[in-house]
Amino acid sequence: MRVPILKQGDYLIASIQSALSDQELMQLRDDLAEQAGRFRSRGIIIDVTVLDVMDSFACRTLRSIAHILRLRGAQTAIVGIQPEVAFAMVQLGLALGEVQTALDLEEGLALLSRRTERGSGSEK
Amino acid sequence: MARINKSTPNTVTETSLESTAALLRELVAHLRENRTQLREEWVRRITESKLLTAMTREEIFAEATSVYDNYVAVLESGSVEALQAYARDLSERIIPRGVETHEVVGIVLLLRDVLARSLFKKYQSDFGLLNRVLDAYEPAANRIANTVAVSFVQERERIIRQQQEAIRELSTPVLQVRERLLILPIIGVIDPQRARQVTEQLLRGIRANRAKVVVIDITGVPAVDSTVANHLVQTVDASRLMGATVIVTGLSSEIAQTLVTIGVDLSKMKTVGDLQGGIEEAERLLGYKVMLEQTAEKLP
């Protein structure tokens, strides 16, 4: 199943609905890279609330999505990581690196609007 | 003295079983008869060996009486269940007073010796009979010693587990001090199990309170080594994944020096000197501005 990507003003919201295969993750990466350019988006939110597992491939793909989108001029925020998932990730040594994270969709939107206001992509 | 073993030999096993039972009966009768004297001898030996020093003489005598009666009852019935219950009950009473395992085992072994001595004396004229009496007595006596020791240790372990549980429950509160600001004061030693529990509790707290900033205060942690530091780093990383910033406070100068000496990299971690500073920094991050409205003249 393709992950639905919703356009909301300057932002794109990719809301993951079920556990994703590696193939679907790569599809998501390609879709986001393409649509971010097409809609001239400034921020992208990936909602992972429903995921109860996050493996190394998923982490790496999310990192690379953030990196790709930064090169395309957009900020990325991962939202909705569950407590158990967060704990498992640090235990396994999986990191999201410099990728922004927020508690939920609402927080993610607030985060992105703060960061995109300050001008494109400059670290604070 | 009654001779039991001479009558009607059936099969070998039956005879020996029967004779064991009969010998134990005789033994119990003997112990009941000499209860006062043997008990006193036992208490004398306990005092002499300086066991149960936490208890008064009267208490020792009272406990000795009930242990003695239980002991005889077990020899008579062969069932240790009543003794087990009694030993647990006794342990529950004497553990808080600081009675050690070696004392409990010691007094039971003393009783065994005292009773064995009295048997030697009683049957000294007939070595064969003494042997058979001891054959019947020793396994039962050893089983009793075993039961009491195991019950005592089990009771102690139960109490230790209970206390650990209580300490764990008490020591990791996650408190909200402002909207979206949590504090987590950690008191005591951090072991891997506790670190895990603290982290899980904190992550749940972040979600439940929608926290954006967390102040972890480790003033009450006596020592920080690389393991504890790694736990802290993991907690910080996990909190960040949930969108919360962590500020660590209360690193004493010794701890800071240790961490630098052993080369733990905490550069990714935001640290502030004390809890007050941590909360002020957190308020700044959250956009709070706390100011003094007027001088505190209302206070007495």
Would residue A119 count as lying in a domain? no
Inter-chain CB pairs, A–B, below 8 Å: 53
Return the pLDDT at B14.
55
* Strongest mean pLDDT among A113-122, B10-19, B211-220, B221-230: B211-220
Q: Which residues of A touch B242 (CB under 8 A)?
A: 81, 83, 86, 101, 103
Ranking A79-83, B3-7, B230-234, B261-265 by mean pLDDT, the lowest is: B3-7
- pLDDT band, very low/low/confident/very high, at B296 (cuts 50, 70, 90): low
Q: Hey, are the CB atoms on A83 and B204 less than 8 Å from each other? A: yes
- pLDDT tier for residue B17 given thresholds of 50, 70 and 90: low
Is the CB of residue B179 less than 8 Å away from at least one CB of chain A? Answer: no
Both tokens of residue A84? 């158990």
Tell me the one-letter amino acid at B191: D
Cα gap B84→B66, rounded to integer Å: 13
What is the C-alpha to C-alpha distance for residues A113 and A107, in angstroms, rounded to an integer?
10
Residues in B closer than 8 angstroms to A107, CB to CB, are 210, 212, 243
Give the integer Cα–Cα distance in Å for B289 and B280: 9
Express as a percent the part of chain B with pLDDT over 90: 19
Which chain A positions have a beta carbon within 8 Å of B212's beta carbon? 103, 107
Task: Count CB atoms within 10 A of the CB of residue B150.
Answer: 13
CA dihedral B278, B283, B285, B288 (to 10 degrees): -170
Give pLDDT, residue A84.
Answer: 92
Asked if the structure places residue A48 within a domain, the reply is yes
* Nearest of B107, B140, B127, B106 to residue B31 by alpha carbon: B140
* DSSP assignments along A14-58, one per residue: EE--S---HHHHHHHHHHHHHHHHHTT-SEEEEE-TT-S---HHH
CB atoms within 10 A of CB B99: 21
Question: Coil, strand, or helix at residue B140?
Answer: helix
Chain A 65-84, residues with CB within 8 Å of chain B CB atoms: 78-79, 81-84
Nearest by CB: A101 against B203, B234, B242: B242
pTM for this predicted structure: 0.62
Q: Which CATH number does the domain housing residue A14 bear?
A: 3.30.750.24
Q: Is residue A121 part of a domain?
A: no
Distance of CA B197 to the CA centre of its chain: 21
Give a yes or no: residue A123 inside a domain. no
Q: Report which of B92, B93, B95, B73 is spatially closest to residue B83, judged by C-alpha positions.
A: B73
**Contact residues, A window 90-119, toward B, CB-based 8 Å cutoff:** 90-91, 95-96, 101-104, 107-108, 111
Q: Do B234 and A111 touch (CB under 8 A)?
A: no
Please check whether residue B200 touches A, CB under 8 A. yes
Q: Which domain holds residue A55?
A: 5-114
**Cα A104 from Cα A102, distance rounded (Å):** 6
pLDDT greater than 60 at residue B12: no
Residue B169 reports pLDDT greater than 80 = no
Q: For residue B238, list chain A residues with Cβ-Cβ distance below 8 A.
A: 83, 86-87, 89-90
Q: How far is B144 from chain A (nearest CA, A)?
A: 49
Which three-class secondary structure state does DSSP give residue B207?
Answer: helix
Q: Among B181, B242, B268, which would you mutate to test the A interface (most chain A Cβ atoms within 10 Å of its Cβ)?
A: B242
How distant is the Cα of B190 from the closest Cα of chain A, in angstroms?
17
Chain B nearest-CA distance from A67, in A, is: 17
Residue B101 contacts residue B153 (beta carbons within 8 Å):
yes
Report how many domains make up chain A. Answer: 1
The pLDDT tens digits of the residues spanning A12-64 come to 999 999 999 999 999 999 999 999 989 999 999 999 999 998 899 999 999 99
Q: Give the helix/strand (H/E) hosting A12.
A: strand A11-15
Confidence of residue A78 (pLDDT cuts 50, 70, 90): very high
The answer as to whether A120 is a domain residue is no
Residue that has been written with the tokens 């054959």 in this structure: B135
ipTM above 0.85, yes or no: no
Question: Between chains, do B241 and A103 touch, taking CB under 8 Å as contact?
Answer: no
Residues of A within 8 A of B199 (CB-CB) are 87
Sorting pLDDT into bands at 50, 70 and 90, what band is B170? low
Q: Which residue of A has its CA nearest to B240?
A: A101
Each residue's pLDDT tens digit, A92-112: 888 888 889 999 999 999 999
State whether residue B131 sits within 8 Å of chain A by CB: no
CB contact at 8 A, A42 and A66:
no
3-state secondary structure at position B179: coil
For residue B6, name the pLDDT band (cuts at 50, 70, 90).
very low
Task: Calculate mean pLDDT across residues B247-274.
Answer: 85
Which residue is it, tokens 């992972």?
A: A48
**Which sign, positive or negative, has the C-alpha torsion B278, B284, B286, B288?**
positive
Q: B244 CA to chain A: closest CA distance, Å?
A: 7
Rounded to a whole number of angstroms, the distance from the CA of B297 to the nearest CA of chain A is: 41
Please give the C-alpha separations between residue B240 and each of B202, B214, B233, in angstroms, as whole numbers.
Answer: 12, 10, 11
Q: Name which of A78-87, B2-11, B65-74, B142-151 the model is least confident about.
A: B2-11
Instruction: Name the pLDDT band for A77 (thresholds 50, 70, 90).
Output: very high
Q: Which burial class, exposed, middle or buried, applies to B179 when counting CB atoms under 10 A from its CB (0-12, 13-18, 19+)?
A: exposed
**Percentage of chain A with pLDDT > 70?**
94
CA dihedral defined by B108, B112, B115, B116, rounded to 10 degrees?
-170
For residue B206, which of B163, B236, B232 has the smallest C-alpha distance?
Answer: B236
What pLDDT is recorded for position B30? 86
In a domain, A54, yes or no: yes
Q: Which residue in B200, B207, B235 is closest to A103 by CB distance? A: B207
- d(CA B244, CA B260) in angstroms, rounded, equals 26
Per DSSP, the three-state class of B2 is coil
B221-242 mean pLDDT:
87
